[in-house]
């Protein structure tokens, strides 16, 4: 089956060895990954099948992970990974959506058949697709095992991007730049919100320079006027106004590596308050990007950002950004480092973040965000869209 794999086998071998080292330090013999991004990162497995149970097993004594999923997805695993045939295993399809039986019963039997039934096992208790019922069946099926939360062990291993990964991050940045510029060009009074989003989907997928885009882990987000104070609302059939704020948060994905981007647009002549807020956001964001170098502690970025906002008379509660990279729905964040007070992670070259600069006074909100790579020269912007309150006459 013809499938262009995104990385050489040596990249996956490096990742597996790094994760095994982390497993030893954490006291795990066996790691069970349920997060689709972690499964893909370790093996290359890439299919829209994460809505049903599937796992990747990695044991300290094994050089190669094991993929377990539905029979119908076995050929997908063969096509997208370099795993040996014996390490691609399906569970019985009659276990799927059964009132009493569960695929994790068979996962437990596979683990016992390998002699790992009494091991120290790490599971991803906070993974989106690892259900309470799945965990219950796994624990019941392996009564002699010692289970612990892996605490995002693989997520943290993904934090510093390799040179090969950064190629896709930068390609995603070029796609989101083109997509955002096209979306802004389409903003005209009377155009329904859904028409703007329809074109965004098309541009995200078409990509640029022959580099197509994958489906993104979050849908496009658009808010108008007072809705700009509610950042996660999606589109409607309402026409764009002759005068008012429009906030667009979109992303692009290249081989599942994401570059999110937010811009705020004013239809008509912007009032002084909107321009003042935009200027504060831009100044604070520029300060963060300038400071984002190896050796800097993450909460120092947040302090600089909040200092600028406070000087302009604004207050922001909550985090100001998060790590990004490879991901699958429903979230493009890696769920590791957050740019916020008290975050003591030290920046390293190759880490990638979405600096989400949303500020929402009582009446409205604005955001001019950036995805960036930590470099010796500061935060390298992945996108190239004007950092300003964009005005559409």
CA distance 306 to 301: 9
Q: pLDDT of 307-339, one tens digit each?
A: 999 999 999 988 999 999 999 999 999 999 999
Measured CA to CA, the distance from residue 56 to residue 6 in angstroms comes to 19
Residues 146 and 44 in one domain: yes
pLDDT tens-digit readout, 238-271: 999 999 999 999 999 999 999 999 999 999 999 9
pTM over 0.95: yes
Q: Which domain holds residue 151?
A: 9-157
Same domain flag for 260 and 206? yes
How many distinct structural domains can be found in the chain? 2
Does the pLDDT at position 159 exceed 80? Answer: yes
pLDDT value of residue 363: 84
Residue 31 lies in a domain: yes
Q: Is the pLDDT of residue 209 over 80?
A: yes
- Residue 36's CATH number: 3.40.350.10
- Is residue 95 domain-shared with residue 207, that is, in the same domain? no
Q: Which pLDDT tens digit goes with each residue over 32-70?
A: 999 999 999 999 999 999 999 999 999 999 999 999 999
Q: Which residues contact 257 (CB under 8 A, 6 or more apart)?
A: 165, 168, 169, 171, 172, 325, 326
* Domain end position, chosen among 157, 185, 204: 157
Domain boundary among 157, 173, 205: 157
Per-residue pLDDT, 393? 84
Question: Does an H or E element contain 281, and which?
Answer: helix 272-291
Question: Do the Cβ atoms of 339 and 322 come closer than 8 Å?
Answer: yes
Sheet holding 321-324, edge to edge: 333-339, 321-324, 352-355, 370-375, 378-381
C-alpha torsion sign, points 385, 387, 392, 393:
negative
Q: Two tokens at 310?
A: 């406070």
* Claim to verify: residue 170 and residue 97 sit in the same structural domain: no
């Amino acid at each position: 089956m013809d499938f262009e794999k995104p990385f050489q086998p040596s990249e996956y071998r490096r990742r597996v060895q790094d994760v095994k080292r982390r497993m030893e330090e954490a006291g795990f013999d066996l790691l069970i990954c349920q997060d689709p991004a972690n499964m893909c990162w370790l093996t290359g497995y890439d299919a829209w099948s994460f809505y049903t149970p599937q796992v990747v097993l990695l044991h300290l004594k094994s050089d190669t992970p094991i993929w377990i999923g539905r029979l119908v997805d076995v050929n997908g695993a063969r096509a997208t990974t370099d795993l040996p045939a014996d390490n691609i295993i399906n569970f019985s399809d009659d276990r799927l959506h059964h009132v009493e039986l569960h695929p994790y019963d068979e996962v437990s039997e596979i683990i016992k058949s390998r002699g790992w039934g009494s091991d120290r096992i790490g599971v991803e208790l906070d993974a989106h697709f690892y259900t309470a019922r799945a965990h219950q069946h796994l624990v019941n099926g392996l009564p002699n095992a010692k289970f612990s939360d892996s605490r995002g062990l693989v997520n943290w291993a993904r934090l510093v991007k390799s040179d090969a990964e950064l190629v896709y991050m930068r390609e995603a940045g070029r796609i989101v730049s083109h997509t955002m510029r096209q979306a802004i060009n389409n903003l005209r009074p009377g155009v329904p919100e859904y028409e703007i989003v329809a074109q965004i989907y098309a541009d995200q997928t078409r990509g640029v320079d022959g580099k197509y885009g994958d489906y993104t882990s979050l849908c496009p987000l658009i808010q108008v006027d007072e809705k700009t104070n509610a950042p996660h609302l999606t589109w409607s059939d309402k026409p764009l106004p002759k005068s008012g704020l429009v906030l667009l948060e979109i992303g692009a994905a290249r081989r599942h590596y994401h570059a999110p981007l937010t811009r705020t647009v004013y239809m008509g002549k912007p009032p002084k308050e909107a321009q003042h807020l935009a200027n504060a956001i831009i100044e604070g964001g520029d300060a963060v990007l300038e400071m984002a170098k190896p050796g800097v502690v993450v909460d120092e970025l947040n302090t600089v950002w909040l200092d600028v906002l406070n000087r302009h008379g604004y207050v922001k509660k909550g985090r100001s950004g998060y790590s990004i990279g490879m991901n699958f729905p429903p979230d493009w964040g890696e769920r590791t480092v957050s740019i916020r007070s008290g975050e003591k992670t030290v920046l390293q070259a190759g880490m990638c973040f979405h600096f989400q600069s949303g500020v929402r006074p009582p009446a409205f909100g604005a955001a001019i965000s950036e995805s960036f790579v930590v470099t010796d020269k500061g935060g390298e912007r992945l996108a190239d869209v004007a950092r300003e309150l964009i005005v559409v006459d």
